[in-house]
Amino acid sequence: MAASAAQLFAREGLRGIGVDHIGASVGASTRTLYKHFGSRDGLVIAALESRHAAFMALLQHDDAAIGTVESLFDTLEQWSNEFGASGCLLLRAGNEYRGANDDIVALVRGQKAAFFKEITRRVKHALGHDDPLLSSQIWILFEGATAIASLDNTAVIGAARAAAASLMAHGGKRSEA
């Protein structure tokens, strides 16, 4: 149910749709949703957890390119092709629930921190040392590509991948200087 709800939230938004519509869309009664998730916000939390876990699992699944920064963008492209390029559900949830539900905002921050940690790990693996600035630049490229791809321009993901590769090459040279 949570994964189906995540797809619905990605298409239609989070706070603007009613529980009855959510239930009908995921094939469950309102009572069933409340029984399993406690509240509408409980379902949102479960949906965000499901979505984040699925994306992070997809990142780890690419054994041939594991540890590369460029494969982050390959995964984003695969995700966009499979689920649609509707922007980052986590960032949307963080914005929609700011001031309304601190638990959801904290969850989003934690999930974004986990993703940034993955970027940092990949940068360190490629360079042989930490580079917080480069990790932040890669993260900005990734998040920007995610946002722009939602405007029906998934080609930007390839451009962001190329920019990340260029930054990585420069970062490696900078560390030798």
Cβ 9 vs Cβ 89: under 8 Å:
yes
CA dihedral 16, 55, 157, 124 (to 10 degrees): 130
Q: What is the pTM of this model?
A: 0.87
Q: Could you report the per-residue pLDDT of 22-78, keeping only the tens digit for each?
A: 989 888 888 999 999 999 899 999 999 999 999 999 888 765 556 689 999 999 999
Helix, strand, coil percent content, the chain, rounded in steps of 5: 80, 0, 20
Task: Evaluate if residue 174 carries a pLDDT over 70.
Answer: no
Bigger pLDDT: 10 vs 161: 161
Domain range for 10: 2-176
Task: Evaluate if residue 1 carries a pLDDT over 50.
Answer: yes
CATH number at residue 97: 1.10.357.10
Q: How confident is the model at residue 4 (pLDDT cuts 50, 70, 90)?
A: confident
Count of structural domains within the chain? 1
Q: How confident is the model at residue 157 (pLDDT cuts 50, 70, 90)?
A: very high
Q: Could you report the per-residue pLDDT of 69-114, keeping only the tens digit for each?
A: 999 999 999 999 888 888 888 999 999 999 999 999 999 999 999 9
DSSP for 78-127?
A: HHHHHH-----HHHHHHHHHTTT-HHHHHHHHHHHHHHHHHHHHHHHHHH
Bigger pLDDT: 163 vs 4: 163
d(C-alpha 167, C-alpha 137), whole Å: 8
